[in-house]
Copies of this chain bind each other. A is one copy, B any other.
Amino acid sequence: MKHLIDLDDFSIQELDQIVHKAVEIEAHPEAYYGKLSGKILGTLFYEPSTRTQMSFQTAMLKLGGQIIGFDNPQTSSVSKGENLKDTVKVISNYADVIAIRHPSEGAAKAASLVAECPIINAGDGGHLHPTQTLTDLVTLMHEKGHLDHLTIGLCGDLKFGRTVHSLIKAMIHYPGNKFILISTKELTIPDYMKKIILNSNCEYEEISTLEEALPKLDVLYMTRIQRERFESKEEYLKQKDVYRLDTQKMRLAPEDLCILHPLPRVDEIEIAVDDDPRAVYFKQANHGVYARMSLILHILEQNTQTSIKGEIYPEKICSNSRCITQSETYLKRYFYRDKDGVMCCSYCDAHE
Contact = CB atoms under 8 A, between A and B. Distances in A.
A79 B289 contact: no
A351 interface: no
Given A51-B77, A61-B68, 6 more contacts: A38-B62, A38-B64, A54-B69, A77-B264, A90-B263, A93-B285
A48 B285 contact: no
B54 A289 contact: no
B94 A286 contact: yes
A75 interface: yes
A49 interface: yes
5 A-B pairs with the lowest CB-CB distances in the bound complex, closest first: A50-B76, A82-B264, A48-B75, A93-B286, A58-B94
A65 to B, nearest CB: 9
Contacts of A90: 51, 263, 282, 285-286
A271 interface: yes
Contacts of A71: 70, 75
- The number of times this chain is found in the oligomer is 3
A192 interface: no
Interface string A91-108: 101110000000000000
Contacts of A91: 54
Contact of A82 (B70, B72, B95, B265): B265
A158 to B, nearest CB: 20
Nearest to A94: B58
Contacts of A95: 58
Nearest to A330: B271
Interface in A118-168: none
A81 interface: yes
Interface of A: 30, 33, 38, 40, 42, 48-51, 54-55, 57-58, 61-62, 64, 66, 68-72, 74-83, 85-87, 89-91, 93-95, 263-266, 271, 274, 282-283, 285-286, 289, 330
A65 B69 CA distance: 16
A28 to B, nearest CB: 13
B48 A38 contact: no
A3 B75 CA distance: 26
A85 B48 contact: no
A352 to B, nearest CB: 26
B33 A48 contact: no
B38 A33 contact: yes
Contacts of A263: 77, 82, 86, 90
A282 B282 CA distance: 42
27 contacts: A30-B38, A33-B38, A42-B54, A48-B74, A48-B75, A48-B76, A49-B77, A50-B75, A50-B77, A51-B90, A54-B68, A54-B69, A55-B94, A58-B68, A72-B72, A72-B75, A80-B266, A83-B271, A85-B274, A89-B274, A89-B282, A89-B285, A90-B282, A93-B283, A93-B286, A94-B286, A94-B289
A140 to B, nearest CB: 18
A264 B54 contact: no
A70 B71 CA distance: 9
A70 B33 CA distance: 24
A70 B70 CA distance: 11
Contact of A80 (B54, B72, B81, B264): B264
A53 B139 CA distance: 33
